[in-house]
Amino acid sequence: MTRKRRTYTDEFKREAVQLVTEQGYSLAEASRNLGVHANRLRTWKQKVEAADEEYEAGLTEDERMELASLRAENKRLRMERDTLKKATAFFANEKP
């Protein structure tokens, strides 16, 4: 009996890598939660980092600084959004 090879979309791979890089999950924890082998997730992460380095190599110093600033702002806004989602869910479940 042959096993069917699982395929993953590019969007799934990007989001899986974001769990590790932006949300602070460990490789092992993220891979367990997603049902993906840790080595596969590590490979995806390495490919994303290599692509980012290639992209950033063509940027000027000002563009790199702006990109870093925008990424930091994006991260802060995502955390604020997640906090507001949790607060909304908490108050929605609260009974008067």
* Measured distance CA(52)–CA(58) in Å, rounded: 10
The structure tokens listed for 95 are: 């009974």
pLDDT score for 79: 93
pLDDT score for 23: 85
Q: Can you give the pTM of this predicted structure?
A: 0.56
pLDDT in tens for each of the 96 residues of the chain? Answer: 777 888 899 889 989 998 888 888 888 999 999 999 999 999 999 998 888 777 777 778 888 889 889 999 999 999 999 999 999 988 888 766
The structure tokens listed for 11 are: 């969007």
Q: Are 45 and 20 in contact (CB under 8 A)?
A: yes
